[in-house]
């Protein structure tokens, strides 16, 4: 999960540069990039070794048994953390940071792009080391640290007196994201037996997109009433709530029992 999140973050850091380079050759060239999915698809089809669960059951039985694990309080808490994480990323950080940089520091588009890429690279570096970090600290501790990093970064972004100090806040946000997203995915995957992990991660994907959807309009209301700085303060308050939620609900217990399902 850590390597996956790392690769995704590298992609988000690199794609504006690749797309911009292709666009200089012609506006249509960036739209040819999805063709690369075709050979990669064949590579996965014939080369990926992926053990499948040997279980035969109807859709109704599958959903009923998956629901036993999905409704567990710890699973609900992880889903809530996913929703709030992507709400603050897309609602405050990605939406309003470029405007804040241009307004407060007259930053050029190039500087803004470098700053956004710096956050993604910090996320990639942190995610790539997740395996080592989980050997030193429990995943719950890393989740608590990610929430604290989110809160500190968002609180200090509108207070930064210069681009250099703003860069520190941006890196802290990237570190928080690198600790948060792969940890949430790993914990969710561990809460259900293998035959129900698809249901868990599919629901998590829906909730992730829901967070991306509700975050911008929610922060748009905050912006329209109190201004651009308030969007970061509101997001910091949400991150503080995530810290409390993690401390309250996420535990080292809640693993599947001998029957393969979460105990209530």
> Is residue 101 exposed (0-12), middle (13-18) or buried (19+ Cβ within 10 Å)?
buried
Contact yes or no for 256/191 (Cβ under 8 A): yes
Q: What would the mean pLDDT of 137-147 be, rounded to a whole number?
A: 91
The answer to whether residue 30 scores a pLDDT higher than 80 is yes
Provide the CATH number for the domain formed by 2-50+59-249 in this structure: 1.20.1250.20
Higher per-residue pLDDT: 24 or 231:
231
The answer to whether residue 262 scores a pLDDT higher than 60 is no
Helix (H, G, I), strand (E, B) or coil at 261: coil
What are φ and ψ of residue 161, in 5° steps? -85, -15
pLDDT > 70 fraction of the chain, expressed in percent and rounded: 84
End-to-end CA distance of the chain: 26
The answer to whether residue 17 scores a pLDDT higher than 60 is yes
pLDDT value, residue 142: 92
The pLDDT tens digits for 119-128 are 888 888 888 8
Please tell me the pTM assigned to this model. Answer: 0.80
pLDDT value, residue 148: 96
């Amino acid at each position: 999960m850590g390597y996956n999140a790392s690769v995704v973050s590298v992609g988000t850091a690199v794609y504006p540069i690749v797309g911009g380079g292709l666009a200089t050759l012609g506006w249509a060239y960036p739209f040819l990039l999805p063709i690369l999915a075709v050979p990669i698809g064949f590579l996965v089809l014939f080369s990926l070794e992926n053990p499948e669960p040997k279980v035969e059951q109807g859709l109704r039985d599958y959903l009923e048994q998956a629901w036993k694990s999905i409704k567990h309080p710890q699973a609900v808490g992880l889903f809530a953390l996913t929703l709030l994480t992507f709400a603050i990323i897309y609602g405050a950080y990605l939406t309003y940071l470029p405007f804040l940089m241009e307004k407060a520091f007259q930053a050029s588009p190039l500087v803004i792009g470098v700053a956004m890429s710096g956050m993604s690279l910090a996320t990639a570096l942190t995610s790539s080391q997740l395996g080592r970090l989980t050997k030193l600290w429990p995943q719950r501790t890393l989740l608590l640290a990610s929430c604290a990093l989110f809160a500190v970064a968002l609180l200090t972004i509108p207070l930064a007196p210069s681009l250099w100090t703003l860069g520190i806040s941006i890196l802290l946000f990237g570190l928080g994201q690198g600790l948060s997203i792969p940890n949430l995915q790993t914990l969710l995957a561990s809460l259900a037996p293998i035959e129900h992990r698809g249901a868990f991660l599919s629901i998590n994907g829906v909730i992730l997109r829901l967070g991306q959807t509700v975050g911008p309009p929610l922060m748009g209301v905050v912006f329209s009433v109190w201004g651009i700085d308030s969007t970061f303060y509101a997001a910091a308050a949400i991150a503080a709530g995530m810290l409390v939620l993690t401390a309250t609900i996420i535990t080292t217990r809640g693993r599947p029992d001998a029957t393969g399902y979460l105990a209530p």
